Structure 1
Amino acid sequence: MRGIITTMEDGLGVLEDRRRVHVPFAYPGDYVVVRSTRRRFGKLLARNFNLLEPSPLRQMPRCRHFGTCGGCLWQGLKYRAQLELKKEIFGKITRIKAEIKGSPKIWGFRNVSNFIVTTDGIGLKEYGNPFGVVRLKECPVFSKRTPEYLRALRDFLKETGLKPWNLRAKTGEVHYLQIREGKFTGEVMVNLIAHVEPSEGVLEAFKDYFSFATSLYWSLKHDERDDPHGEAELIAGEPYIRERIEDITYLIHPNSFFQTNSHALKLLLNAVEGFTDGERVLDLYSGVGTFGVWLARRGFKVEGIEINPFAVEMANRNAEINGVDAVFRVGKAEETPIENYDTVIVDPPRKGLKEAADLLVKSGVEGIVYVSCNPKAFKLDYERHLKKAYRIDGAVLIDMFPHTPHVEAIIGLVRKE
């Protein structure tokens, strides 16, 4: 089967002839031949394919691992074309016309990376292969220091004899190395996720090999799930690293979520602020207070609700160190009384608002700022619920994720008269 890629779907090029085939790392205008396919996630996925003639939208990828690593499906696409495609796809899904703002940096922008440590190598997951690992030598979207981090890890494992994780057998001792960087502070957090508690000798070696870290953690993992999560224990240095976005300092901990693109975060915060009106603001799904603390600094009176108690603790710490008028509480979004607020900020999980959408419709709130990286979830929330009481007042897209199909949308909703 051969032909020209006509469009994109879920980040993959689409080839339509007798069948509809999704081709990874292919873009509109590419002329490809697909030699074999497999069925996955309810679609035909090209497995063995060749690029015969490249699209004019193509560029030379910077990373040597492009095409096998699952991190950057769109690195072979010119950046301006990436932005146009994201805007087009968002518009097709939501029927909303929105401007898009590109990331100020498209290389070295990620502030966190999770390197998997396995018997087949250390690096990142291979695209389309749950047991495949790309043995990483560099990561241009994360950090110039990636080789340094990986070298320290390999030397540490060699000295201590700790066993890497076996993805198939689900056995081993070290599973992930998570690195976080404060892009504007220069601080570095190293967090090793392991299935064993460290001995005194192992801890001394850990501190020696990662002596450059501002904050050094060992996270004990109690399950066999393939994710970079564990019970974090501070080994050396500071309990948090800091990131500075304009006049706001954010504390970052191994178990707290923080937007992955520090350089584009200011654009996201400004967009949220632009749709925020009135005096009293409710930050629903407030997390560590990323939006709430920023808005409080700009004079809004902010209250936040978040289901995760640890995130609430972090949010209140962020409010305290910045000296702003914001209070965050533990609670479920769908059980929160919404009254006497002028604007509600919602940044729900990927599945969307669900029950909380009806709560917003019944409230007297004049404005909603909906933040989402999943336009399909927003569309469902709006068409099924929010449309009853609100109209769309505008939208802005912020490219928080260069070289991937994802984009962050900020949508302003105002109550119908």
Structure 2
Amino acid sequence: MHARGRVNALSDDGLGILETGGRRIYVPFSYPGDEVGVRRTKRRFGRLLAEDFEILEPSPLRGRPKCPHFGTCGGCLWQGLKYKEQLRFKAELFEGITGIEAEIEGSPQIWDFRNVSNFIVTTSRIGLKGYGSPSGVVNLSECPVFSKRTPEYLRALRDFLSEMGLKPWNLKRKAGDVHYLQVREGKFTGEVMVNLIAHVNPPDEILEAFQDYFSFVDSLYWSLKGDERDDPRGEPELLDGEPFIRERIGDVTYLIHPNSFFQTNSYALELLLRAVEGLTDGEKVLDLYSGVGTFGVWLAKRGFTVAGVELNPFAVEMARENAEINGVNVKFSVGRVEETPLGDYDTVIADPPRKGLRETAESLVKSSVEQVIYVSCNPKAFQLDYKNYLKRAYRIEDTRLVDMFPHTPHVEAVVKLVRKN
């Protein structure tokens, strides 16, 4: 055996840390208290990662995973950890990165909570990516974190591909007909959208068969993918049903389209929205990186005067639709956030991409904005933005954590920054 010992900590990305013989080995799917035996390691991103290992003695922190694919699928690193321990470790990891101690709210539902899943279709398997192996795919039979209906979706897909003779994507050769099946569910409306991402424009008989196999959905798309990148993106064409499905969060309805981003946990989203609402002061709010209007429409529904800025024109169009169907007046504009005049808003909400604010943080420092609500799923990016920019003008007044991603190390943070006197 290459190494043996007890895991004593978790890394920032949720791997068990084994210290042995002067070496540090990172062991996936392991937790503090686990006795592990490591037979083989590989060096990845400058560290030793256990590649062949076993749990010799389980930690008392372990719970029973619900998914038969746990341990190979890359989706749920922490599914073997009791949920209360997941929450504790998330808060501890966040504090270790940012220095901020904060309470965490758990997800109201930890199974069947994801409202979207992207199943990769390959020559060897259909399912989700395996952990630590970009080319490895787990042949999925079910997915308890996504939907009870996962077997139904996958069975329909496999039967359709078999009858029509369509070729799955070959990851090595970068060739094939069908690359991904994307499924979205409105958890509170029961509506379902299916979107096939393919490299071919098929004849009518294939499109008709596709509609027959997925006749139970509310919205059916075929997306033509014009590149070889391994991602679930294409130009969608509506084949049948409605162009959107709806999701209902509290008293707000959101429209969802194949090309729109929406928070993946519908059940915890209301907690996140209420956390932002509870920290927002004043009347005039500027929503930066406003996307499809998730925060902006919610706040407008509660009487705030809201303007939103987003670079993606399609997202802005969706945001305007969401404002209209909810009967609120929000001014959503297409523009670069970095170049947006910050004006005399009482509060600026910033929910940037994973890389963080960067230049926008510098603009906020130079502005007269009194309060910033920073929403982040990447504590390292937030810490860099605060340390390098925002700290010069703002102090941290309050922080709330919401678990949008059960069974993973990730957590969503809502940080209220107030301008220093």
CA–CA distance in 1 between the matches of 2:268 and 2:240? 30
Q: In the alignment, which residue of structure 1 is the partner of 2:363?
A: 359
The residue matched to 1:37 in structure 2 has which SS? strand
Q: In the alignment, which residue of structure 1 is the partner of 2:18?
A: 15
User: Which residue identity lines up with residue 15 of structure 1 in the other structure?
Assistant: L
CA–CA distance in 1 between the matches of 2:398 and 2:326? 30
Q: In the alignment, which residue of structure 1 is the partner of 2:119?
A: 115
Q: In the alignment, which residue of structure 2 is the partner of 1:374?
A: 378
Q: In the alignment, which residue of structure 1 is the partner of 2:196?
A: 192
1:61 to 58, 65, 71: 65
Q: In the alignment, which residue of structure 1 is the partner of 2:236?
A: 232
User: Which residue identity lines up with residue 228 of structure 2 in the other structure?
Assistant: E
Q: Which runs of 5+ in 2 are unaligned?
A: none
Asked if 1:405 corresponds to 2:397, the answer is no
Asked if 1:241 corresponds to 2:236, the answer is no
User: Which residue identity lines up with residue 148 of structure 1 in the other structure?
Assistant: E
The residue matched to 2:176 in structure 1 has which SS? coil
2:183 to 155, 179, 183: 179
1:275 to 273, 276, 279: 279
2:213 to 209, 212, 215: 209
Question: After alignment, is 136-145 or 32-41 more displaced?
Answer: 32-41
CA–CA distance in 1 between the matches of 2:143 and 2:54? 25
Q: In the alignment, which residue of structure 2 is the partner of 1:6?
A: 8
Kindly provide the CA deviation profile for residues 297-317 of structure 1, in whole angstroms up to 9, marking residues without a partner as x: 000000000000000000011
Kindly provide the CA deviation profile for residues 65-114 of structure 1, in whole angstroms up to 9, marking residues without a partner as x: 00000000000000000000000000011011110000000000000000
Q: Which runs of 5+ in 1 are unaligned?
A: none
Q: In the alignment, which residue of structure 2 is the partner of 1:29?
A: 33
TM-score by length of 1: 0.99
CA–CA distance in 2 between the matches of 1:130 and 1:359? 38
Kindly provide the CA deviation profile for residues 358-377 of structure 1, in whole angstroms up to 9, marking residues without a partner as x: 10011111100000000000
CA RMSD of aligned residues (A): 0.6
Structure 1 outlier segments of 4+, above 4 Å: none
User: Which residue identity lines up with residue 12 of structure 1 in the other structure?
Assistant: L
CA–CA distance in 1 between the matches of 2:192 and 2:54? 41
Q: In the alignment, which residue of structure 2 is the partner of 1:289?
A: 293
Q: In the alignment, which residue of structure 2 is the partner of 1:75?
A: 79
Kindly provide the CA deviation profile for residues 110-143 of structure 1, in whole angstroms up to 9, marking residues without a partner as x: 0000000010111111111121111101000000
TM-score by length of 2: 0.98
CA–CA distance in 1 between the matches of 2:336 and 2:178? 35
Kindly provide the CA deviation profile for residues 337-358 of structure 1, in whole angstroms up to 9, marking residues without a partner as x: 0011000000001010000001
Asked if 1:385 corresponds to 2:397, the answer is no
Q: Indicate if the aligned counterparts of 1:122 and 1:134 stay in contact, CA closer than 8 A.
A: yes
Identity among equivalent pairs (%): 73
Shift of 1:16: 1.0
CA–CA distance in 2 between the matches of 1:35 and 1:53? 16
Shift of 1:4: 1.0
CA–CA distance in 1 between the matches of 2:213 and 2:53? 42
Shift of 1:325: 2.1
Question: After alignment, is 8-17 or 279-288 more displaced?
Answer: 8-17
In the TM superposition, what are the counterparts of 1:153-172 in structure 2 within 5 Å?
153-172=157-176
CA–CA distance in 2 between the matches of 1:143 and 1:414? 41
User: Which residue identity lines up with residue 306 of structure 2 in the other structure?
Assistant: V
CA–CA distance in 2 between the matches of 1:200 and 1:49? 50
1:44 to 42, 48, 53: 48
Shift of 1:327: 1.1
Kindly provide the CA deviation profile for residues 255-294 of structure 1, in whole angstroms up to 9, marking residues without a partner as x: 0000000000000000000110000000000000000000
Matched positions, count = 417
CA–CA distance in 2 between the matches of 1:276 and 1:391? 15
Q: Indicate if the aligned counterparts of 1:21 and 1:43 stay in contact, CA closer than 8 A.
A: yes
User: Which residue identity lines up with residue 26 of structure 1 in the other structure?
Assistant: S
User: Which residue identity lines up with residue 7 of structure 2 in the other structure?
Assistant: I
CA–CA distance in 2 between the matches of 1:139 and 1:108? 8
Shift of 1:41: 1.6
The residue matched to 2:55 in structure 1 has which SS? strand
The residue matched to 1:130 in structure 2 has which SS? strand
Shift of 1:235: 0.5
The residue matched to 1:131 in structure 2 has which SS? strand
Q: Indicate if the aligned counterparts of 1:319 and 1:327 stay in contact, CA closer than 8 A.
A: no
Q: In the alignment, which residue of structure 2 is the partner of 1:132?
A: 136
CA–CA distance in 2 between the matches of 1:204 and 1:114? 22
Q: In the alignment, which residue of structure 1 is the partner of 2:399?
A: 395
CA–CA distance in 2 between the matches of 1:50 and 1:180? 35
Q: In the alignment, which residue of structure 1 is the partner of 2:261?
A: 257
1:144 to 141, 148, 172: 148
Q: In the alignment, which residue of structure 2 is the partner of 1:334?
A: 338
